[in-house]
A and B are shown apart, each in its own frame.
Chain A
Amino acid sequence: MEMHFDQHISRQFNEDLEGLKTEMLEMGGLVTSQVADAVEALANADSALAESVLEIEEEIDRRELNLDEHATLIIAKRQPTASDLRMVMSVIRIARDLERVGDEAGKVAKMALAFSEAGSAPRGYTEIRHIADAVRNMLNDALDAYTRFDVTAAMDTLAKDTQVDMDYSSAVREMITYMMEDPRSISRGINVLWILRALERIGDHAKNICEQVVYLVKGTDIRHSSNSNNS
């Protein structure tokens, strides 16, 4: 079904919905760059960049509150139905996911700060780099699919989460091997595990966004369904 949010009789309603979507996508852009920056800070031991990531996190929290408020207002004023209702609902849910992604990016940035104080790049960096690239792409693609109401792209992106999960488990196994080999690296290794864990969570949130694209366009909620897990 084609999605048109610019054809209501009330032009104000068009603008409200369009504004909500734009606001959400802006937040998404901010969060995506935050993830990129956090990984970058980690790679380059750039404490300044890591600090800026943590600062942006507050901005993201504020945006989530704004989005919630605007969505609530639209529901109160317009009593949206059907695709309009799904649009508002998906924005609220995605905003929540994005805020969580922001939190995870913050965790990564904190680790980056810790590593930069210790003064060395951690072992397992290639795995981090690999998974970080994958989840960043997923996040980008999910938001892209949302912009274009593209269910196929969303399903493709959603499928990539399985790969991320697999990569994550193998990275975890690898880190365990390192730590068993060199007990002194355990504390640092645990930090790396934390980072990997955060990145993997970002992937999950990207997947949630994809599910919302399907919900918005198709009207079916595929969360917690086998469809979502297997494909």
Chain B
Amino acid sequence: MTNPTSPAPLTDKQSQVRERIAQRLGSRHRKETMFRLMGIMSVTFGVLVVLVLFTDIIGKGHGAFVQSAIELEVDYDPQVLGIDSVSPETLALANFDAVIRRALQARFPDAVGRNNRRALFSLVSSSAPYELQQQLQENPQLLGQKQILWFTADDDVDTYVKLFADNKRGHFERLSEQKVAWIQQLLDSGELKKRFNTTFFTNGDSREPEQAGIRAALVGSLLTLLVTLALSFPIGVSAAIYLEEFAPKNRWTDIIEVNINNLAAVPSIVFGLLGLAIFINFFQLPRSAPLVGGLVLTLMTLPTIIISSRAALKAVPPSIREAALGMGASRMQTVLHHVLPLAMPGMLTGAIIGMAQALGETAPLLMVGMVAFIVDVPGSITDPSTVLPVQIFLWADSPERAFVERTSAAIMVLLSVLILMNTSAVWLRKKLERRW
């Protein structure tokens, strides 16, 4: 009997081995620390990049959410307007331009000469007459009276106010000295102010930056996504269920599987070309419409959804299937009653990933004409429209300085939609994924 309190002496082999282990311990610990450091560095790098990206975008884009406006006292003089009553017909003919010109002239009587006056009139946006028209349409009793109103400033004025007015350092070459003097005068008197930019969320695209908004693109994106989701989710899930649960495992299903995987790797523009050839040229579907865009994006997201749905189905423990089959449930009952509810959270995640991918896609949509200049907010899936990423692409291409901040602002909106979608996906999954 050995005494348990005093361990038996080590054999030579044992002590040799222990020595070797002790020798290498230091280097093993070093390597482990290195490995961990590398991981931390990678994560830090990733977080840093995201932070830089976000600061850059927010830094550039936050300005787009405010818009300079000029306060003017307008006189709804029926003579100047050239109307004597307010009705849709008369409003369409009324000369609101003149009213605004008079108001500006009244504010700056020193502006004389043709060039000076034109410069003066360009302080406000070309949309100012429409704003005035709307004001009068809503309040017909104002005819013949005076009112103090805020008018959207021109994009050059806006840019100057946002970028140059504060530090007075730089020189904005698009504005004359005279104009800068007027702007300063208005700023000092509080008649030129930055107000919240509702136009950005209510308007469609425009050549004038101060009138350009993302509404049309946002609605276009949502409509396109709706079509994509409505088509790709049921098709993808049914395909996945058939392939995973019912299809015999033979060479044909192998070929199909390989092809689905290949399809997921096909460049998206190819889907665009396909969409152009099939949906527009062959089926004669309307160009630039969310319907066609959605169809093309469906083609693109299907492989993603099928692959992730199959993975979700595979992850359902086979014991559940056995239990149901052993009870005498048919294949379909087994799938519908037991397998699908368990696989649903995973399928939804796949669908959301596919949707996010589709939301950010530009290339295939260019091919089906969704790159058009769309001013009107689309009302249905057959109306011509554009989507957020294409809108971003278009604005990024525009020469006006004021479009820079709008591009970033549109990116912010796109990212918000993405985050919203992902959050709702997580919430949905949490809700469906009951813990058993």
Asked if A and B form a direct contact in the complex, defined as CB atoms under 8 angstroms apart, the reply is no
Q: Which residues of B contact A (CB under 8 A)?
A: none
